């Protein structure tokens, strides 16, 4: 499964729920380490939700692959997105 990637996290990903907390944590990591990576799950039909924040790109890629594998068997599998936050 292809993991989509781009270099920005837009404000509409932020919410009061767990996804917003994960993005806030990633922004704190970026301030400390220079960059951080957030794994999102979702598509146009399913709102994107942040599921993990990582300071290491390789760890984020592995988590995204694991998340993609989990959703692979579903009929309408959501896409997995890897976003980079850079300071």
pLDDT digits (tens, 9 = 90+) for 11-53: 434 444 666 778 888 888 988 999 888 888 776 555 677 888 9
pTM: 0.68
The structure tokens listed for 76 are: 């309408």
pLDDT at 1: 40
Q: Alpha-carbon distance 39 to 61, whole Å?
A: 8
Is 82's pLDDT higher than 60? Answer: yes
pLDDT at 54: 92
């Amino acid at each position: 499964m292809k993991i989509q990637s781009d270099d920005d996290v837009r404000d509409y990903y932020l919410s009061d729920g767990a996804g917003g907390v994960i993005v806030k944590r990633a922004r704190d990591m970026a301030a400390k380490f220079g960059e951080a990576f957030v794994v999102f799950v979702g598509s146009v039909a399913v709102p994107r939700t942040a599921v993990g924040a990582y300071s290491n790109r390789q760890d984020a890629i592995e988590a995204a692959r694991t998340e993609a594998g989990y959703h692979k068997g579903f009929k309408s599998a959501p896409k997995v997105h890897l976003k980079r936050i850079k300071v």
